[in-house]
């Protein structure tokens, strides 16, 4: 059977190297011919941003950053960029910082140089998100794709292990959603599979040795692949759920993704045994759910949304908000009852059953219940 698909590869420069961020940034600002630089970072990342930008002239530092990019903060930052005649934005931080830079670029077209300090992967996508009146809206616009991403694993050393785990799990969510997103194709599935392998190898290494660079470099590499795959495949069921929960109930982004992911995987994987096998192989596990749950358990990842503020009373409204935005391309239909069951499990922290889909292990069907070890 011949392959037929339509794939777009986004154009972006990536510079990767521990201890080289200031040098790389100065070279990129010069390459772009930029003279008026706006640096965006959170207050907690201010010292890191100053160190990163020590070799360039900065016109304005902006530190009013908040999760889910509230529209009022986006508008204020846009005004500052215009008033200072900014010609390049440098964002130093995680997904919230990158998201604010994207909000500026979306209306001004000012190019972005992203310097990630977490594993969110937002820097590798052309996806933007804004929150207004407790409702998060997302979209796609090539203007928001950073022209350059500068990765330096030393910048992630200050990220505590628990936040590293949650941030890396957010990367895994990008990979898994890319397997069956609205525009999923063989290329982004290949990137997603390698992203899962790198993240599954890197996160335990970070957990075991938080000050070591090899594990953190693997996680950064995996997070980049995750972002590229997700940008290509589009937002699937998992991200639709998490965007609603984050915007409506002010839940922390990475932890919400971490908690919801195994439940979405357990819901979808049985409907697509071939992708179940592919994800399982990347985890080197007997099934996709088994691999993910084993990884999360070993990392002591968060499991319950109730620990972050969601309540039983929120679930009926959440179901109403999520149901209309579920992509029709999801591997199996999603009903209101399905969502209620999924959200109740995620709320309480009930682990999904980590079993292989029955058709994948039936004798004589040609399937392999134990996938071959992923190439290291």
Instruction: Report, as an integer, the average pLDDT of 357-361.
Output: 38
Query: How confident is the model at residue 371, as a pLDDT?
Result: 35
Nearest to 367 by CA among 375, 314, 140, 359: 359
Q: Which residues pair with 89 in a beta bridge?
A: 38, 112
pLDDT tens digits, one per residue of 190-249: 999 999 999 999 999 999 999 999 999 999 999 999 999 999 999 999 999 999 999 899
Q: Which of the 8 DSSP states describes residue 302? A: -
pLDDT tens digits, one per residue of 135-156: 888 899 999 999 999 999 999 9
Q: What is the CATH number of domain 13-156?
A: 3.40.50.1970
First to last CA, the chain: 30
Q: Give the C-alpha separation, 370 to 110, whole Å.
A: 49
**For residue 317, how far is the Cα from the chain centroid?**
25
Instruction: Report, as an integer, the average pLDDT of 275-283.
Output: 97
CB 262 within 8 A of CB 279: no
Q: Give the C-alpha separation, 364 to 307, whole Å.
A: 45
pLDDT tens digits, one per residue of 55-80: 999 999 999 999 989 999 999 999 99
Q: How confident is the model at residue 297 (pLDDT cuts 50, 70, 90)?
A: very high
- Backbone torsions φ then ψ of 39, nearest 5 degrees: -105, 125
Residue 95, SS3 per DSSP: helix
List of E strands, 232-339: none
Q: Which two tokens stand for residue 281?
A: 């192989």
Fold of 161-360: Dehydroquinate synthase-like, alpha domain (1.20.1090)
Mean pLDDT of the chain: 91
Q: Where are the domains of the chain?
A: 13-156, 161-360
Q: Which residues pair with 136 in a beta bridge?
A: 131
């Amino acid at each position: 059977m011949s392959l037929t698909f339509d794939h777009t590869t986004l154009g972006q420069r990536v510079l990767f190297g521990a201890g080289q961020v200031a040098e790389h940034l100065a070279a990129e600002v010069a390459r772009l011919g930029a003279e008026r630089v706006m640096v965006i970072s959170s207050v907690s990342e201010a010292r890191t941003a100053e160190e990163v930008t020590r070799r360039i002239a900065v016109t304005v530092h902006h530190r009013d950053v908040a999760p889910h990019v509230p529209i009022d903060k986006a508008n204020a930052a846009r005004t500052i960029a215009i008033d200072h005649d900014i010609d390049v934005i440098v964002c130093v931080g995680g997904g919230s910082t990158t998201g604010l830079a994207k909000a500026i670029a979306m209306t001004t077209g000012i190019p972005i140089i992203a310097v990630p300090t977490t594993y969110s992967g937002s820097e590798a996508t052309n996806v933007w998100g804004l929150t207004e009146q407790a409702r998060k809206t997302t979209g796609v616009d090539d203007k928001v794709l950073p022209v350059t991403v500068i990765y330096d694993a030393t910048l992630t050393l200050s990220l505590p292990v628990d936040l590293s785990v949650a941030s890396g799990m957010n990367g895994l969510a990008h990979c898994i959603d890319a397997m069956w997103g609205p525009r999923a194709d063989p290329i982004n599935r290949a990137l997603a599979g390698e992203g899962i392998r790198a993240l599954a190898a890197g996160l335990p290494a970070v957990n075991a040795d938080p000050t070591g660079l090899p594990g953190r470099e693997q996680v950064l590499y995996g997070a980049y692949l995750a972002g590229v795959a997700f940008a290509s495949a589009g937002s699937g069921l998992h991200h639709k759920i998490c965007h609603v929960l984050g915007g409506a109930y002010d839940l922390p982004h990475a932890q919400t993704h971490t908690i919801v992911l195994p439940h979405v995987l357990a819901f979808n994987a049985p409907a697509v045994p071939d992708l179940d096998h592919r994800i399982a192989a990347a985890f080197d596990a007997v099934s996709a759910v088994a691999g993910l749950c084993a990884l999360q358990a070993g990392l002591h990842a968060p499991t319950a949304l109730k620990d972050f503020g969601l309540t039983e009373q929120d679930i009926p409204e959440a179901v109403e908000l999520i149901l209309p935005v579920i992509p029709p391309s999801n591997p199996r239909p999603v009903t209101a009852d399905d969502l209620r069951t999924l959200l109740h499990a995620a709320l309480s922290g009930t682990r999904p059953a980590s079993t292989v889909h029955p058709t994948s292990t039936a004798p004589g069907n040609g399937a392999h219940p134990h996938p071959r070890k992923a190439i290291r």
